[in-house]
């Protein structure tokens, strides 16, 4: 069953613009993670934010977490064509495995 739900399902932007993706989840979590998947390949871990953190940065990535609203956002600044991929949020709760949302498909047009 899906825990996280990403929004939007698909996003198309011009190179240089910022891309924002949102994730909502249902139960309390230990952490929330964002992954990227290039077409038909494995997932690559981008960033992990713990339940007691509110914001985290990594390069051009900025993640926020609002546990009261059970939501997170991923911001990619100054997007590049190479950022074209699907982005998934995944939540970790207690001793259960990572549960993934259905992803946001990002297209960055050069």
Partner 1 sequence: KAGVTQTPRYLIKTRGQQVTLSCSPISGHRSVSWYQQTPGQGLQFLFEYFSETQRNKGNFPGRFSGRQFSNSRSEMNVSTLELGDSALYLCASSYNGGWGNLNTEAFFGQGTRLTVV
Among 12, 18, 28, 96, binds partner 1 (CB under 8 A): 96
Question: Taking CB under 8 A as the criterion, which residues in 26-65 touch partner 1?
Answer: 30-31, 33, 35, 40-45, 48, 50
With beta carbons less than 8 A apart as the criterion, state whether 5 and 24 touch.
Answer: yes
User: How many angstroms separate the CA atoms of 83 and 94, rounded?
Assistant: 32
Q: Which residue has the tokens 């690559």?
A: 44
> Can you tell me which of 21, 87, 92, 105 binds partner 1, judged by CB under 8 A?
92
Could you say whether residue 25 binds partner 1 (CB under 8 A)?
A: no
Residue ranges binding partner 1 (CB under 8 A): 1-2, 30-31, 33, 35, 40-45, 48, 50, 88, 90, 92, 95-103
């Amino acid at each position: 069953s899906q825990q996280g739900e990403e929004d939007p399902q698909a996003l198309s932007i011009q190179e240089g613009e910022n891309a924002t993706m949102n994730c909502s989840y249902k139960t309390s979590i230990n952490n929330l993670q964002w992954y990227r998947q290039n077409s038909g390949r494995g997932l690559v871990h981008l960033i992990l934010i713990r339940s007691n953190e509110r914001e985290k940065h990594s390069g051009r990535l900025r993640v926020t977490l609002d546990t009261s609203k059970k939501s997170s956002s991923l911001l990619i600044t100054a997007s590049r064509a190479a950022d074209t991929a699907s982005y998934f949020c995944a939540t970790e709760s207690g001793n259960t495995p990572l549960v993934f949302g259905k992803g946001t498909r990002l297209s960055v047009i050069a």
